[in-house]
Amino acid sequence: MRGLARPVRLLVVPTTNSSYQRDLDRYSAVRRRDPNADAWFVYAVTTTGVYCRPSCGARLPRPENTRYFADAAAATRAGFRACKRCHPERATTIRAERVAATRRLLEADATAIKLDELSNRLGTSKYHLHRQFKQATGMTPRQYAAALRLGRARQGLLEGAPVTEALYAAGYGSSGRFYAESGALGMRAGSIARAGRGETLRTLVQTSSLGHVLVAASPRGICWVALGEDAAELEAELRRHFKEARFEPPNRELRGYCRRILGWIERGEVAADLPLDLVGTRFQLRVWEELRRLPAGETMSYGALADQLEVPGAARAVGTAAGKNPVALLVPCHRLLRNDGAMGGYRWGLERKRALLEREAAASSRARSRR
């Protein structure tokens, strides 16, 4: 039962949502060209009239020009043409039905991953089923079952179930299996929580009108955004936090993230779709996720957020969790105010909090007057 006694610390990639229910999650999957998303939806680009698989190498459309459909048939009905590059329409009927049936079987029981049994029930060979499923979904039936289990475990943990209970309810026979599978799928407890051991983080410091901005990202997403006057002090704090990580210079992806974050700081242009790689306790993660639902231009009190999380009276705990937020702006803890409407605190300085709120309010009133 190694690992179960540990406090729950999870690496969460909010954008790796195996159900892709929100447009934000879908767009983020398209941006990452995530082959795992191919099983879930196709996207159409209104400016070109073409629809694609999420993994297509085609140029990334702007979010406002993107529409999502459950499958190729729905996109065709809406008048879009299949892309000639990724062939999203290519899943012949029998095969598509077989794949869908496999999906349904696995969804009903994620422990039923014996390919023999599945192929017998569907009247095909093991080999064909494996290949067709993989072609259609980007995952083998086994990987798909693992993704399902992981999604259930993550949900259970975020809802506050005890670790053992969440893992078993999700279909893990052992915790070891959870740790083995979750690592491969972008969610881990353990080493990353411990000071970033084995992690490679890319970092970049830029200057803004609110001082220096330090951004650090793992291969899975942004894990650190800090604001401050002293660049060396910002770097030192990052290295203290991720003691055992390896640090590397920025790549193109990180530079892109930083541009979006600077646009947010200077002009209130919210970039809520950037991928995050957050580590925290169960409670912190709930606070951070809830904060991410709060729209720009709005604020909320610590107490109201505690009520929303159904832990009334936990205003102070909410404040503490917000104060541990590792990613300024991206988890918008600057939108949290004291119950009496006063500013409260801010990890990166009250003046910056005030400025961010003003800029977001101005940007959202500009957006309203354009409508």
Catalytic (active-site) positions: 52, 333
Helix (H, G, I), strand (E, B), or coil: what is residue 214?
A: strand
Shortest-Cβ-distance residue relative to Zn ion: 83
Q: Taking the mean position of all CA atoms in its chain, how far away is CA 235?
A: 25
Minimum Å gap between C-beta 59 and Zn ion is 10
Provide Rg for the chain, Cα atoms: 22
Give yes or no for a contact between 244 and 197, defined as CB atoms under 8 angstroms apart.
yes
Classify residue 206 by its DSSP letter.
Answer: E
Q: Taking the mean position of all CA atoms in its chain, how far away is CA 300?
A: 23
Which residue's CB is nearer to Zn ion, number 58 or number 231?
58
Amino acid at position 124, single letter: T
Residue for token pair 């491969």 = 184
Sign of CA dihedral 101, 93, 79, 88: positive
Which residue's CB is nearer to Zn ion, number 61 or number 151?
61
Which residue's CB is nearer to Zn ion, number 59 or number 252?
59
Which residue's CB is nearer to Zn ion, number 57 or number 345?
57
| Binding flag, residue 315, Zn ion (CB under 5 A) | no
Residues 82-121, mask of contacts with Zn ion (x by CB under 5 A): -x-xx-----------------------------------
Residue for token pair 């919210």 = 270
Angstrom distances, CA of residue 34 to CA of 6, 27, 31, 138, 211: 31, 10, 8, 9, 35
| Contacting residue, 10, 13, 29, 52, with Zn ion by CB under 5 A | 52
> Which of 78-86, 92-100, 116-124, 128-136 is the region at the interface with Zn ion (rule: CB under 5 A)?
78-86
> Which of 9-17, 46-54, 280-288, 289-297 is the region at the interface with Zn ion (rule: CB under 5 A)?
46-54
Helix (H, G, I), strand (E, B), or coil: what is residue 218?
A: strand
| Contacting residue, 37, 56, 187, 306, with Zn ion by CB under 5 A | 56
Could you tell me how many residues of this chain bind Zn ion (CB under 5 A)?
Answer: 6
Residues that bind Zn ion (CB under 5 A): 52, 56, 58, 83, 85-86
